[in-house]
């Protein structure tokens, strides 16, 4: 069925130790057997950490000058396929990735690190991981689950708050996700680990870091064009970047480009919730060898 409504919402179940919904596991065989190419670039994130923003930056870095029509004609989810997704009315992520005409291929995943298909490691692919402050990430995920008809019902804020801390979310625990990828970075040199908050603070600086990681040279003018092009207000009105062409999302409930701010958690957490969260966070993130730097 093309029409998605509340009956299409996925349900959480345990999948190899990680809460998942069937929209991201039904294509498991094809995903695990996916043949990566050495120049593929994997963009990995916990949901709502800034995936679309970084995807758009990379797309512009690689193709902004050679094929500018991409950005005006092809939605971001087709330019940068979501590897593990399989939903009615859209090609599977693996089909979309296999049909990409360009090289390099930019591919998005929300998998925890242990689910990444082995050929990405065998091919020594570059990977860009984006992490976001946990509280803002939770708030963003809450609003996303309200409006996205393939996501489980979020319930009320207070129950969501507890479930997030328990890791009962699609793609599992935020803590395990950021820690798992951070740990991988210690041994896998082709992983660039970046933060949403740093992108907000200085987008140009983060583009420079991406360029040096990717081995790209980018002129001052080009960098400036990208930096301004990917500002929140510009992406929000860009129908090829803002997901408005996808039917599973109900923007009347909440738009995909919602706020794009650091610190929106303060409008959602009570003082008591914030204290409870911080205490639990310290406990979950205390292993100093694997803990990621904290961003506020």
CA distance 183 to 225: 34
Q: Which stretch binds ligand A3P (CB under 6 A): 95-103, 114-122, 153-161, 227-235?
A: 227-235
Could you say which of 97, 194, 235, 249 contacts ligand A3P (CB under 6 A)? 235
- Applying the rule CB under 6 A, the residues between 7 and 66 that interact with ligand A3P are 45, 47-53
Catalytic residue among 16, 110, 162, 289, which?
110
Q: What are phi and psi of 44, to 5 degrees?
A: -115, 135
Q: 């005409």: which residue's tokens?
A: 101
CB of 264 to ligand A3P, least distance (A): 6
Does 207 bind ligand A3P (CB under 6 A)? Our answer is: no
Helix or strand run (H / E) with residue 146: helix 134-147
Question: Do 10 and 170 form a contact (C-beta atoms < 8 A)?
Answer: yes
Task: Please say which residue, 116 or 230, places its beta carbon nearer to ligand A3P.
Answer: 230
Q: Does position 76 bind ligand A3P by CB under 6 A?
A: no
16 is catalytic: no
CA distance 205 to 227: 10
Bridge partners of residue 47, in order along the sequence: none
Residue corresponding to tokens 């990430």: 137
Q: Which of 143, 163, 184, 185 binds ligand A3P (CB under 6 A)?
A: 143
Among 223, 259, 284, 295, binds ligand A3P (CB under 6 A): 259
Alpha-carbon torsion 57, 62, 66, 70, what sign?
A: negative
8 Å CB contact between 128 and 43: yes
Of 167, 229, 260, 263, which lies in the binding site for ligand A3P, with binding defined by CB under 6 A?
260
Catalytic residue IDs: 110
Query: Under the rule (CB under 6 A), what is the footprint of ligand A3P?
Result: 45, 47-53, 136, 140, 143, 230-232, 235, 257-260, 264
């Amino acid at each position: 069925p093309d029409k998605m409504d509340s009956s299409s919402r996925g349900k959480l179940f345990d999948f190899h130790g990680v809460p998942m919904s069937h929209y991201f596991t039904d294509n498991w065989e094809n995903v695990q057997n996916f043949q990566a190419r050495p120049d593929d670039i994997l963009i990995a994130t916990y949901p709502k950490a800034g995936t679309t923003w970084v995807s758009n930056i990379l797309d512009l870095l690689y193709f902004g000058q050679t094929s500018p029509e991409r950005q005006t004609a092809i939605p971001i989810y087709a330019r940068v396929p979501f590897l593990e997704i399989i939903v009615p009315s859209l090609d599977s992520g693996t089909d979309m990735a296999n049909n990409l005409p360009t090289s390099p291929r930019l591919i998005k995943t929300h998998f925890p690190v242990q689910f990444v298909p082995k050929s990405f490691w065998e091919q020594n692919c570059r990977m860009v991981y984006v992490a976001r402050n946990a509280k803002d990430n939770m708030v963003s995920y809450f609003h996303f689950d309200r409006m996205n008809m393939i996501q489980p019902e979020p319930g009320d804020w207070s129950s969501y708050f507890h479930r997030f801390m328990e890791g009962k979310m699609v793609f599992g625990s935020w803590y395990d996700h950021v820690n798992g990828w951070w740990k991988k970075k210690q041994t896998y040199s082709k992983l660039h680990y970046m933060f949403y908050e740093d992108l907000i603070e200085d987008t140009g600086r983060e583009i420079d870091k991406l360029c040096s990681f990717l081995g790209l040279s980018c002129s001052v003018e080009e960098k400036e064009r990208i930096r301004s092009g990917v500002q929140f207000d510009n992406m929000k009105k860009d129908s090829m970047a803002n997901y408005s062409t996808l039917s599973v999302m109900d923007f009347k409930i909440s738009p995909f480009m919602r706020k794009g701010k650091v610190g929106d958690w303060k409008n959602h957490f009570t003082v008591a919730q914030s204290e409870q969260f911080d205490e639990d966070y310290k406990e979950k993130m205390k292993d100093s060898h694997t803990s990621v730097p904290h961003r506020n």
